[in-house]
Amino acid sequence: MKLKPIFEDVKRPVQILGPCSAETEEQVLETARQLAENNAKVDLFRAGIWKPRTRPNSFEGIGAEGLQWLKKVREEYGFKITTEVANAQHTYEALKAQVDVFWLGARTTVNPFSVQEVADALKGADVPVLVKNPINPDLKLWMGAIERLYNVGITRIGAIHRGFSKFGKSVYRNIPQWQIPLELKREFPDIEIITDASHICGNRENLYEISQFALDLNMDGIMLETHPTPDDAWSDAAQQVTPKVLQENILSKLIVRSEGADDPLFLHNIEDLRSQIDLIDKEVIQLYADRMNLAEKIGEFKLQNNIAIYQQGRWSDVLERAMDKAGPLGLSETFVNRILKAVHQESIDRQEEVMKASQGKSIEK
Ligand code: PEP
Ligand code: MN
């Protein structure tokens, strides 16, 4: 798959700004006016026209009429425009209005039937499409939506990372799980990724921090929701800020770090550190292999003595000892916990193999 960029000539970070929803013509135009007045760099002006809401009886979007307001924004302020399409009808309407960039929402990406419907409606149209991650942390589903668009001939495809839903409490409305967009980039190295900080945060407090972190991870841009009177917004009020606050407290404070540098001293130093890291990784892998060989020996021993593989007391000891050592070394409990759980699981699997092999069966994975 050879994806083409959507924002090739745009200075990083790409900025997609605008209200969650188009509510009235005045609100849409006023948002654009205030963005312009505050000198915000608007690479794309966003507004939802058809709003997929989690529960009924919320504002479900103004419909096709709102496209005319977006067109006015483009005419009066020169901002390119983008909106969400979720079915064939939306797609035809947006094509008719010559929307510059289309986007698929999280609730669309999650459903291959809907993605296919939009893809089929786009067949033959050379428009760029941004694909939001699905609601659930499923990389394959995200990739699948991108592939469905590619298969109908769309080549300018980008991704929007808007976080993943969770059950229970978190500081974020949608937890970022940064490893998933990074993995998407590994699978599709040409893809441009935009971080939708507004939907990750769900509130105003962490917008700057998430946006900066996105840039530190070398994401291509950010999407942020803005409204002239955020508290009165018809959707997502808690996460919207005025264009002035957006520009002054968030956008103007972002620090863009360059991906590579030409400075030979910098390159020398970083190469040196990277080779030390590579060496450590090699040693760590060897140590894990040694550890697993020992686990297998223990498995054989347990087998001969008819002892259960899982020993609660032993596992608690291992964990506790590692935590005692990790704290003073500055390693977080979460990190150590994750590693040890993975190691312990692998160790159990290896011992199980030993037991099964003795019964003449190998376990299915
Ligand atoms: C939106 O961008 O307003 C929206 C509905 O987002 P998501 O699809 O990420 O929930
Ligand atoms: Mn929104």
pLDDT computed for residue 53 by the predictor: 84
What is the tens place of the pLDDT at every residue in 160-190? 999 999 888 889 999 999 999 999 999 999 9
Distance CA 221, CA 195 (A): 6
Q: Kindly state the helix (H) or strand (E) to which residue 335 belongs, with its residue range.
A: helix 333-358
Distance CA 17, CA 198 (A): 10
Map residue 187 onto helix, strand or coil: helix
pLDDT computed for residue 36 by the predictor: 98
206 Cα to the center of ligand 2, angstroms: 16
259 Cα to the center of ligand 2, angstroms: 30
Terminal-to-terminal C-alpha distance of the chain: 30
29 closest CA partner among 11, 54, 47: 47
198 Cα to the center of ligand 1, angstroms: 9
CATH number belonging to domain 14-253:
3.20.20.70
Distance CA 313, CA 235 (A): 51
Gyration radius from the chain CA atoms: 25
Ligand 1: which atom is nearest the Cα of residue 162?
9
Distance CA 234, CA 7 (A): 30
Which residue is closest in CA terms to ligand 1's atom 8?
A: 105
What is the tens place of the pLDDT at every residue in 84-112? 999 999 999 999 999 999 999 999 999 99
pLDDT band at 360, cuts 50/70/90?
A: low
pLDDT band at 52, cuts 50/70/90?
A: confident
Does the Cβ of 105 fall within 6 Å of ligand 1? Answer: yes
pLDDT band at 297, cuts 50/70/90?
A: very high
What is the tens place of the pLDDT at every residue in 12-27? 999 999 999 999 999 9
Which residue is closest in CA terms to ligand 1's atom 4?
A: 105
pLDDT band at 358, cuts 50/70/90?
A: confident
Using most ligand atoms within 8 A of CB, pick from 16, 20, 21, 210 the residue to mutate for ligand 1.
20
Does the Cβ of 134 fall within 6 Å of ligand 1? Answer: no
pLDDT computed for residue 362 by the predictor: 47
Q: What ranges do the domains of the chain cover?
A: 14-253, 264-364
pLDDT computed for residue 359 by the predictor: 80
Q: What is the largest CA-CA distance in the chain?
A: 82
235 Cα to the center of ligand 2, angstroms: 6
290 Cα to the center of ligand 2, angstroms: 50
Instruction: Give the range among 209-213, 333-337, 361-365 with minimum mean pLDDT.
Output: 361-365
200 closest CA partner among 192, 216, 212: 212
5 Cα to the center of ligand 1, angstroms: 22
Q: Kindly state the helix (H) or strand (E) to which residue 71 belongs, with its residue range.
A: helix 65-77
pLDDT, greater one: 314 or 242: 242
Does the Cβ of 20 fall within 6 Å of ligand 1? Answer: yes
Which residue is closest in CA terms to ligand 1's atom 2?
A: 20
Which residue is closest in CA terms to ligand 1's atom 3?
A: 20
Distance CA 335, CA 319 (A): 12
What is the tens place of the pLDDT at every residue in 190-229? 999 999 999 999 999 999 999 999 999 999 999 999 999 9
20 Cα to the center of ligand 2, angstroms: 4
pLDDT computed for residue 15 by the predictor: 98
- The residues with which 81 forms a beta bridge, in sequence order, are 45
Above 60 in pLDDT, residue 54? yes
What is the tens place of the pLDDT at every residue in 247-288? 999 999 999 987 777 788 888 888 889 989 998 999 999 999
Does the Cβ of 162 fall within 6 Å of ligand 1? Answer: yes
pLDDT band at 294, cuts 50/70/90?
A: very high
Distance CA 173, CA 195 (A): 14
132 closest CA partner among 250, 218, 46, 215: 46
Averaged pLDDT of the chain: 94
Ligand 1: which atom is nearest the Cα of residue 105?
8
pLDDT band at 361, cuts 50/70/90?
A: low
Residues in the chain: 365
Does the Cβ of 106 fall within 6 Å of ligand 1? Answer: yes
Q: Does domain 264-364 have CATH number 1.10.1200.10?
A: no
Above 70 in pLDDT, residue 363? no
Which residue is closest in CA terms to ligand 1's atom 10?
A: 106
Helices (H), the chain: 25-37, 65-77, 88-96, 106-109, 112-122, 139-151, 179-187, 197-201, 207-216, 243-245, 264-304, 312-326, 333-358
